[in-house]
Chains A and B, each alone.
Chain A
Amino acid sequence: MNSREAATGLKRMDDNCLNILIVEDNPGDLRLVREFLRESPAPGFKTAHSGCLSETLEILTKASFDVVLLDLDLPDSSGLGALEKIAAANPEIPVIVLTGQNDESLGLEALQKGAGDYLVKGRINTYLLTRSIRYSIERKKKEKELGALNRALKAHSDSSHAMMRAATEAEYLEKICRIIMEDCGHAMVWVGFAENDKAKTVRPVAQAGFEDEYLKTLNITWADTERGRGPTGTAIRTGKACGCGNMLTDPAFTPWRAEALKQGYASSLVLPLNTGGVILGALTIYSGKTDAFSESEKSMLWKIADDLAFGIMAIRLRLERKKVEEILRRDNETFEKQVRERSRELLDAQQELEKARRLSDIGTLSAIVAHELRNPLAAISMAASNIRRKAANPLLDKHFFNIDKKITESNQIINNLLFYSRIRMPQFERVDITAILEECVENLQSPPAHEITERVEFYLSENNLIEADPLQMKEVFSNILDNARDAISSSPRGKIHIRSAENGKTVDIRIEDTGVGISKENLDKIFEPFFTTKAKGTGLGLYVCQQILKLHGGGITVESEPGKGTVVGINLPRGHKNVEKDTDH
């Protein structure tokens, strides 16, 4: 049965004979042909008749024939037009053309145009007619086979291209199904993978030509159970090609028969997808005709299935490799990034070391020079005293006064230098600013008339723990408190307030005094080295304080109003990782 018969419910006229449609409008010729056919030995012939082309075409839609005998001279067509139209509408039926005695050339042309054979009227006999009929039918079969084989070959070539070009496995599988369906002209193709779950399900992963719902109804497994003994399950289980020649009659196909018939499927071929011993799944091809797959087409499709299995593994491998390459590239990037970071860290550390060394060198040099110079100064001072005593000349007093003054100044310069040498890299420790402030206040040298420590008030917050150099912190706060004490020394009611506040990652300290204050012009200069308004000042105090605080990552500000007082604000980070890189050397 073919799909058309199944769909329309028509039957062959007679299953044991060959059914012949004679297209002939001349009743005499018709009778003659019928006679010849009647005289023919087995198999039997059953004939039907049509008198014109249009009738022929209509009959051919309603019933099926094994061969058509076509007279070229018809009332509604002449020449090979009829052959072309019949062949176009019914490519599977061989057509034997009957030509007139003068039209042999037409017969040859008919052959070239696809006729199965040609016979010259007047030269027909039973033997020739029978032979021609048999020949045409067999030739048609062979043509069909060849056509199928060619299509299979094309499918094979197309699927190789698909494998090389496909970006993903899904794309590849879909493409192959479509190629097989279109190139080979089969009704439906699907690929299923064998799952390793308990039920051993076969999971459809790609398809072409299906009604969407049909695949869902399949429930095929590859277990040795009823739903696993169909051609697909068996092919997976055994690794051998399998098929169902006739879905209507094959008992193994029973679970799926009803649905298949509804869709118009009649036979199937299943090829396992074998990747070197492991059966991935199967390629299933459905046809609308029974026994649709010849041996040669089967072997071609087997090659396609093999290539499909290989192609799937190749694509997976390609993807794996891409993943690995991606990981390698990322690792490489990470590695390079780490190398860069380490190098940068090393460079930073080196810079810090150099800076520390420079400061330390300057410091050491300063210290050595400073106290080497003190010795000769002492000798000069003593010698001047001796001369003064021995000369006892009032005229010389002025000169000795000058010598003394300059010796004092020289000493001051030495002190400045030593003080400057205290700007060194901080040695960070956990330091309690509260304790340091209290210590510095205690150590304040009071001016004789007033007890300074009683005039200092503390307003400190709770947590003043920071990472800092304790010695340097003492120097800074001593310096500022000395300034504050000097500022209030002339007013008996002058006060010093020390406040602190936490500010997230920093601690802010304010030292306020109600003393004489700093004039606006001086305020701009107080951080300059060697600027001082005091007779005994080194002129380095605030400059050094600022440098020390900068090295800690903090800073200092001064606000003042002459006559009212001064506020010195210091901020220090809690942790020394916040130290800013010093760029102004």
Chain B
Amino acid sequence: MSKKILIIDDDPELCEEMAEILESEGYLVDNASDGVKGMELLWKNIYHVFLLDFKIQGMTGIDLLKEIRKKDPKAAVFFVSGRPGLDAILAAENLSDAVKGIIEKPFDSQLLLEKIEACPTY
């Protein structure tokens, strides 16, 4: 089965572009540009990989992370963000190991694909 990926980012054009790149590699992609839509999708479907922006309307990245762990603790979560100092914030919340990686914007599409490739499928 192909991996299912959920992108939550408030830049809709970025979501669109990222989705196309990932779909061209065979992944199944959903995206949401706000927290509410994101949560709807989270609870409706099963995802293997989450690509989260750190701050979107209505929720912070930490909140998103906590929701996702509640539903699917085994999923791979990546933060995709332009904000520096994320690891410090995660460490403060004791959530460093809840996150598979941090991808800093702007990033190489190649890098993104490699990271997702490395996630387990189950």
A residues within 8 Å of B by Cβ? 370-383, 385-386, 389, 407, 410-411, 418
Q: Is the CB of A383 within 8 A of B17?
A: yes
- Of B18, B80, B84, B105, the residue contacting A377 (CB under 8 A) is B105
Residues on A with beta carbons closer than 8 Å to the beta carbon of B81? 371
> Roughly how many angstroms separate A581 CA and B101 CA in the complex, as a whole number?
44
Pairs A–B under 8 Å by Cβ, sample size 25: A371-B82, A371-B83, A374-B82, A375-B11, A375-B14, A378-B11, A378-B14, A378-B82, A378-B105, A379-B11, A380-B106, A381-B106, A381-B108, A381-B109, A382-B14, A382-B18, A382-B109, A383-B13, A383-B17, A385-B109, A386-B17, A386-B20, A410-B106, A411-B106, A418-B84
- A interface secondary structure, majority: helix
Q: Is the CB of B17 within 8 A of A375?
A: no
> Roughly how many angstroms separate A159 CA and B86 CA in the complex, as a whole number?
97
Residues on B with beta carbons closer than 8 Å to the beta carbon of A380? 106
Residues on A with beta carbons closer than 8 Å to the beta carbon of B17? 379, 382-383, 385-386
Counting CB contacts under 8 A, is B94 at the interface?
no
Write the B8-34 contact mask toward A (1 if CB under 8 angstroms, else 0). Answer: 000101100110110010000000000
Q: Is the CB of A377 within 8 A of B106?
A: yes
A134–chain B nearest beta-carbon distance, Å: 130
Q: Is the CB of A386 within 8 A of B21?
A: yes
Write the B79-93 contact mask toward A (1 if CB under 8 angstroms, else 0). Answer: 011111000000000
Which B residues, 65 to 89, have Cβ-Cβ distances below 8 Å to chain A? Answer: 80-84
Closest chain B residue, CB of each to CB of A410: B106
Residues on A with beta carbons closer than 8 Å to the beta carbon of B80? 378
Counting CB contacts under 8 A, is B107 at the interface?
yes
> Roughly how many angstroms separate A410 CA and B105 CA in the complex, as a whole number?
12
Most chain A beta-carbon contacts within 10 A, residue among B21, B104, B106, B107: B106
Closest chain B residue, CB of each to CB of A407: B106
Q: Is the CB of B20 within 8 A of A378?
A: no
Residues on B with beta carbons closer than 8 Å to the beta carbon of A418? 84
When A371-B84, A377-B105 are in contact, do A382 and B21 touch as well, CB less than 8 Å? yes
Q: Is the CB of A378 within 8 A of B83?
A: no
Residues on B with beta carbons closer than 8 Å to the beta carbon of A385? 17, 21, 109
Residues on B with beta carbons closer than 8 Å to the beta carbon of A376? 11
A182–chain B nearest beta-carbon distance, Å: 100
B79–chain A nearest beta-carbon distance, Å: 13
